[in-house]
Amino acid sequence: MSLLDFSSDAFIAAFFLYCFAFMFYVIAIAGKKWSNRDPIAHEKKWGRIAFFVSSAGLAAHLAFFFTRWIGSGQIPTSNMYEFMSFLAMAIMIAYTIVYAIYRKPLLGMFALPLTVIIVAYASVFPQEVQPLIPALNSIWLKVHVTTAALGEAFFAVGFAAGLMYLLRVIDFSDKSKAGRKAQFWVEFTLYSIIVIIGFIVAVFAFRGAGYEAVFTQEKVIIDSKGAQQSVTETVNYSLPPIVQPYNSEKVSMQPFLGMEESLFEAPSWMNGINAGRKLNTVIWSIIAGTLIYGLLRLAFRKPLGAVIHPVMEGVDPDDLDEISYRAIAIGFPIFTLGALIFAMIWAEIAWGRFWGWDPKEVWALITWLFYSAYLHFRLSRGWQGLRSSWLAVIGFVIVLFTLIGVNLIIAGLHSYSGV
């Protein structure tokens, strides 16, 4: 067995160990209500088991990372599959550090699903080793990407604790205007997470069914001398094309639910790499996520926030607020080094400038400014509790858009990672 084969097996093992760890955390927290033993002893016992299994998952994940590094000869952070896999591993490292400090098993019930979702999301992308382009083959790739991802991982733990705080303190029986507003935004946050799950389900479902549609797209390219030339490219779809590429012609398309033609064409201003296909993927993610959310609502007959809220009873909200703040406070300087300082040094080496207003650079700066504001309001204005938790949730939404939206939707120098 080659190192790359062993690496793939370790990745699969890590995924299933994370899933089992999540189930054990659920038993530790939710199961104590039905345990005949002392609830505290029940939580400690199953919490230790869950932490052991999650640590085994992290060990398998580390084995995946280093064996893929050795087997490929380059650090595995050069495309979306590798980077999102590394981010999931970094979240587990951050979670392990925070757990060692606070010993709160409840945090695992939210951090582990986030890790599982990101691992599954990474699996959607091509898993072959892709050679680095010369501009990216630098020691600064290792330094910049790993530190930026580790900072974002602590932001993810802060997000998990912040969301837990909101689910703990918001009264889902409150019928006032302010209460309904808070309930709506918590529910919308949960719905957004389910949309990401919907993306994963839709891609794997149609990929498993062998669905394919092919278009030829004509593009006008302007060369370095200003001359225009027409280029025809082939665009392959693995999801039924609700949206076909701009200025394209259908080559082949498998019918789906009677749909033998796309419903409309992508707008002309969407000129990113495979923009039409990516818009189509976003639409399918929303459709699949909405269906999953609707089925869950039918099953529980109440908002998902109201379903989770009773599980949080007995948890000290001040502990959750403190964990969220500490995680973000640890992640901020790491992110500052990785996403800004090291990134600018690498940009100067690779492209001859420290800053170029590339979309990824802009959104990294927006992320940094947002968390700077978070820490300012927390330390100088005394924003704690609800305000602080909402900022932690919004901040990670910005992180996700920087990682996913910018890479997959907006064209730029970092679009290579969305292939």
220 & 141 share domain: no
Q: What is the pLDDT of residue 265?
A: 85
Residue 182 lies in a domain: no
280 & 333 share domain: no
Smallest CA-to-CA distance from 332 within 376, 282, 385 is with 376
- The number of CA neighbours under 13 Å toward the Cβ of 339 is 26
Residue 74 lies in a domain: yes
292 & 320 share domain: no
267 & 389 share domain: no
Torsion over CA of 382, 169, 373 and 397, rounded to 10 degrees? 170
265-296: pLDDT as tens digits: 888 776 555 778 888 888 999 999 999 999 99
The full 3-state SS of the chain, as one line of letters, equals: CCHHHHHHHHHHHHHHHHHHHHHHHHHHHHHHHCCCCCHHHHHHHHHHHHHHHHHHHHHHHHHHHHHHHHHHCCCCCCCHHHHHHHHHHHHHHHHHHHHHHHCCHHHHHHHHHHHHHHHHHHHCCCCCCCCCCHHHCCHHHHHHHHHHHHHHHHHHHHHHHHHHHHHHHCCCCCCCHHHHHHHHHHHHHHHHHHHHHHHHHHHHHHHHCCCCEEEEEEEEEECCCCCEEEEEEEEEECCCCCEECCCEEEEEECCECCECCCCEECCCCCCCCCHHHHHHHHHHHHHHHHHHHHHHHHHHCCCHHHHHHHHHCCCCHHHHHHHHHHHHHHHHHHHHHHHHHHHHHHHHHHHCCCCCCCHHHHHHHHHHHHHHHHHHHHHHCCCCCHHHHHHHHHHHHHHHHHHHHHHHCCCCHHHHHHC
Smallest CA-to-CA distance from 68 within 79, 53, 56 is with 79
The share of the chain scoring above pLDDT 90, in percent, equals 37
Residue 183 lies in a domain: no
Q: What is the pLDDT of residue 373?
A: 94
Residue 216 lies in a domain: yes
| Alpha carbons 91 and 96: distance in angstroms, whole number | 8
Q: What is the pLDDT of residue 133?
A: 67
21 & 149 share domain: yes
Among 247, 267, 302, identify where a domain stops: 302
152 & 26 share domain: yes
100 & 205 share domain: no
54 & 115 share domain: yes
**Structural domains counted in the chain:** 2
Residue 53 lies in a domain: yes
Q: What is the pLDDT of residue 304?
A: 92
Q: Indicate if the alpha-carbon torsion angle 19, 12, 159, 194 is positive or negative.
A: negative
Among 273, 302, 331, identify where a domain stops: 302
Residue 132 lies in a domain: yes
28 & 110 share domain: yes
Positions of the chain with pLDDT lower than 50, given as ranges: 412-413, 416-419
Tokens of 276: 């039409």
147 & 216 share domain: no
Residue 180 lies in a domain: no
10 & 145 share domain: yes
Among 270, 302, 334, identify where a domain stops: 302
The number of residues in the chain equals 419
Smallest CA-to-CA distance from 357 within 412, 408, 404 is with 412
| Alpha carbons 186 and 203: distance in angstroms, whole number | 26
Owning domain of residue 195: 188-302
Residue 309 lies in a domain: no
256 & 141 share domain: no
Q: What is the pLDDT of residue 412?
A: 47
